[in-house]
Every structure is written in structure tokens, then in C-alpha cells.
Amino acid sequence: MGLHLFNTLNKKTEGFTPLDPAGRGVGVYSCGPTVYDFAHIGNFRTFVFSDLVRRYLEFRGFDVRHVMNITDVDDKIIAKVNSGQSTHTDFTRGLEKSFFEDMATLGCLQPHYTPRATEHIGDIIELIKRLFENGLAYQAADGSVYFSIKKYIESGHRYGQLVNLDLDQLRPGERTKHDEYAKDSIADFALWKARTAEDGEIYWRSPWGEGRPGWHIECSAMSMKILGSSIDIHIGGEDLIFPHHEDEIAQSEGACGGTAGQPFVRYWLHAAHLFVEGKKMSKSLGNFFTLRDLTAQGFSGREIRYLLLSGHYRETFNFTIEGLHGARSAIARLEECILKLKETAGAETAVPEDEILASFTKAMDDDLNVSAAWGAVFDWIREKNRQLAENELSPQQAASALAAWEKINSVFGIPPALTSEIPQEIIELAENRQAARKARDFETADRLRDRLKAEGWIVEDTPKGPRLKPID
Ligand code: AMP
Ligand code: ZN
């Protein structure tokens, strides 16, 4: 059937074919974080989804170039820098570093390119110049440069490709410097914001005076610079559809009209929001968890990743702590089976089992239906457990099952457990118990086993030695 994706551009699930005539290379652009604070796990739902898209494309044999920008200049960043002690660079680089550490904790692959807006000011200026040449940009009395939606439409372009807009509401000449203005106002948006007193020393020079770029133009400039004027896939959270992505289309298509009639982006993918108790997780509502809040409560990156990848990306997802406990038991079930398969397989190697790979691929080809894919995996795990219990699997068959799981997990990307997930004192108790057993001091060994149990851990004695497992 081939990979099918729901495209916000035409609201249809359609077969995916890359722009590359050889059918291999795929350019993917994900709107990255605005580094003014730690990202919350709502943001990470979208970023983990981007990682899933990249991994699945690679699983399907495509050669992916993944770009994720860093927005390191905006109103919130400027306000924070100017009210604090650190310099703009120290402040944004520190948060950028934390962001990529969090991404690694969540098992996300590093995107191939992570351009910073402030390092592409020259490209942004060039793009604005082209918009001037095409008659789509103008400088207003306040010194800022705006994009004229009216001129864009008059020159034969369509504004409102991702959303239905009431163009009668178009109020020519009305302008906004804000990147996130109200959804129902179709106002001209800022490409270049003239320097104000609040900006302090955070500004760049341009042909239109000192100032800084608008948010939307950053993504157009970096996407076109790295991936070309027409790309295959662009990803973001659903709140970015309008105005951010609509404005990216307007700027990019207004500047170069796409390559050979191709649109700026061929497939737009938008992840639905993560909710907490029925409300969108957001900084402004104060109902958010950063990744660090959750790891401090003892949850691991892989449990959080599993939870974020358990529901379909186009459905809103209700985040709960119970959900994380559920993720913990699901991973434990999965890994218990994988461990037993490893014990049975020994040093044997084999080609991956086809059947489970076929069901996994069928589910994922259908607009990345992870819930169906996990369903297939857990049915398969149940069957493997039965076969293991009844000694029905040869080492060769176990190795083949393991090879299939490795391919599947190249997409799910659940990282291996860190040994540090088992507290040091628990490891010591288990080692002492093992020493007692070796010394045939079974009384001490049993007492230590009970203590471990009281701490929430079970010791299982396997042919390969004792194994610790948390009690669900
Ligand atoms: P920001 O750093 O605010 O630009 O957001 C980074 C990404 O997170 C964007 O793609 C947003 O659409 C996305 N995002 C923001 N809030 C949520 C949420 N509650 N659930 C899922 N994605 C979100
Ligand atoms: Zn963007």
C-alpha cells in the first residue's frame, strides 16, 4: 500500500512520494523550540512525533534530511535576557543545550541540521529583499517591514491554503508586529521588526534599519536555505497551522513561487495537542510538566517516550501520571519477553520474522497509526510468551523474533534501560543476596529478597543469573 499521510494542505490522507526523482531523498523540516525556558512535555509530544516521522521514513528506505530550527530571538527571549543577568548568547545556548539533552533522554535522534535563527540573519534579509522585489513587502512609518497580504492575493497567490479564511475580513493596511496574533484577524505581519527601547542591545543591522526578524520569516529562510525552495514534509503542532505556517507559505511562495510549480511544502503534518485534565498543556495556563519535573519524580525518558507515542498523533492526548505507570508496566512486559528471547537465542542470528513486520508496516503506513502498531506488537508478544513457556521456539526462531523487534524498535525508538534506573542500594541488596546464596546462606538470601520486595523490587533467578524487576 505504501506510506500514506494526512496532509493539512488538502485535508486528505494521500500516498507519499518524495520530490526526489530517484524516489529516495526526503527533506523534512520541523519547527523547533523557542528557547526562552525548558520545553514542556506538550512540546515534546510534537518533537517526539517529528522523530517518529524521520525514523519511519528511514525504516521505509528513504534517505532523510531532517532540519529542526532553534528560535533564539523573540519577544519572550528578549524580555528574559533584559531582565536577567546573562547575555543573550549564554541564555539561549544554555536552554538549547538543555533542550537537546531532553531530546536525547527521550530517545530522539539528533536532527541532521539544527540552524539557529540568529545565525541566518543574512539569509532572512535576502529573503525580505526578494519580497520587496516582488512587490509584497513594504516599510511602514514605524520602521518595521510588513508582508502585504492584499498584494500577495492580487498577484495571483492564495492566502488561506491551510485554513479557511474569510477574506472579506481582510483589512488592508492593518498590521501586527506580534507573531501570534488572534486567529480571526488577517492582518499584514512583520517580516522585520524595527528596534525599540525594550530590545536593548539585541538587534541586527539591515537595509531597513536596526531591528530583528519576525518569527515566520525565520522558518521560511532556514527551510529554503537548507532544503531548497520546495520540500517534502513540514511538521509542527496544530497551533502553528495559522498564522505561522500559512505565513511561511505566503513568504516562501511569494519569494520564489515554488520550484517548477511545486508548492513550498508538499505534505504538512500537524500533531494534535497534549492535554492535562481536558486543557491544553501550556506555560500560560501553568498546567505543564517539563521533562525534568517528571524525571525528578522517578520516571524515565523511555517511559515518557512510550506514553507520548501511544496515541495517534492527530488525536489530542490526555496526559496523566497513571498513564506513565501504565507505560512502565507495558515496557516491563515487552522487555521481559525480549530478555527471554535473548536467552533462548544465545549467539544465534537470523533474518527478521516477516509476519509481525508486515502487520507493523501496515499499521504505520496508515498515517503512522502507532496505536494499531503497538496493538500488533503486543499480540505478538503474547504469542511469543506462550511459545517460550511451552518451549516451542528454537534458538533460530528466537533470533528471528529478536531481529524483527530490533527493526520495529528502530522506529519506536524506546531506549534501553539505564542501569541507573535501578537505585544503587537496590543493586547492592541484590548482590548481597546473590553472595549469600552462593555461600548457601539461604536464610540471609531470603531475608534480603523480602527487603527488596518491600522496596518494590522482585528478583528473578534465571539461567543467566539474577534479574531485578520493579513490582508494577
Ligand atoms: P514553541 O517552543 O512554543 O514554539 O513550541 C514548540 C512546538 O511545540 C510547536 O510545534 C508547538 O506547536 C508545540 N506545542 C506547544 N504546546 C503543545 C501541546 N500542548 N501539545 C503538543 N504540542 C505542543
Ligand atoms: Zn516554524
Candidate from 239, 284, 290, 304 with most ligand 1 atoms within 8 A of CB, to mutate? 239
pLDDT digit string, tens, across residues 411-431: 999 988 876 567 778 888 888
Average pLDDT, the chain: 93
The 8 Å CB, 24+ separation contacts for 425-431 are 425/455, 426/452, 426/455, 426/457, 426/468, 427/468, 429/455, 430/457, 430/459, 430/466, 430/468
Residue 240 near ligand 1, beta carbon < 6 Å: yes
pLDDT digit string, tens, across residues 334-371: 999 999 999 999 999 999 999 999 999 999 999 999 99
- Cα torsion through 43, 39, 231, 414, rounded to 10: -70
Q: 272 CA to middle of ligand 1, Å?
A: 9
Q: 283 CA to middle of ligand 1, Å?
A: 10
Q: 68 CA to middle of ligand 2, Å?
A: 9
Output the pLDDT for position 181.
66
Considering only 170-184, 284-298, 433-447, 450-464, which range has the smallest mean pLDDT? 170-184
Given a cut of 70, whether residue 452 has pLDDT beyond it is yes
Please give the number of the atom of ligand 1 that sits closest to the Cα of 46. Answer: 22
Range 281-304 average pLDDT: 93
Output the pLDDT for position 458.
85
pLDDT digit string, tens, across residues 208-254: 999 999 999 999 999 999 999 999 999 999 999 999 999 999 999 99
Given a cut of 70, whether residue 463 has pLDDT beyond it is no
Percent share of the chain, pLDDT over 90: 82
Q: Show the CA angle centred on residue 286, arms to residues 282 and 288, nearest 5°.
A: 55
Output the pLDDT for position 169.
65
Given a cut of 70, whether residue 450 has pLDDT beyond it is yes
Residue 282 near ligand 1, beta carbon < 6 Å: yes
Please give the number of the atom of ligand 1 that sits closest to the Cα of 35. Answer: 2
Output the pLDDT for position 431.
87
Q: 140 CA to middle of ligand 2, Å?
A: 24
Residue 273 near ligand 1, beta carbon < 6 Å: yes
pLDDT digit string, tens, across residues 118-159: 999 999 999 999 999 999 999 999 999 999 999 999 999 999
Residue 98 near ligand 1, beta carbon < 6 Å: no
The residue with cell 531470603 is 446
Instruction: Name which residue leads in pLDDT, 221 or 455.
Output: 221
Q: 33 CA to middle of ligand 2, Å?
A: 9
Given a cut of 80, whether residue 184 has pLDDT beyond it is no
Which of 231, 223, 228 minimizes the C-alpha distance to 19? 231
Please give the number of the atom of ligand 1 that sits closest to the Cα of 30. Answer: 10
Nearest protein Cα to ligand 1, atom 15: 43
pLDDT digit string, tens, across residues 9-36: 999 999 999 999 999 999 999 999 999 9
Q: 137 CA to middle of ligand 2, Å?
A: 20
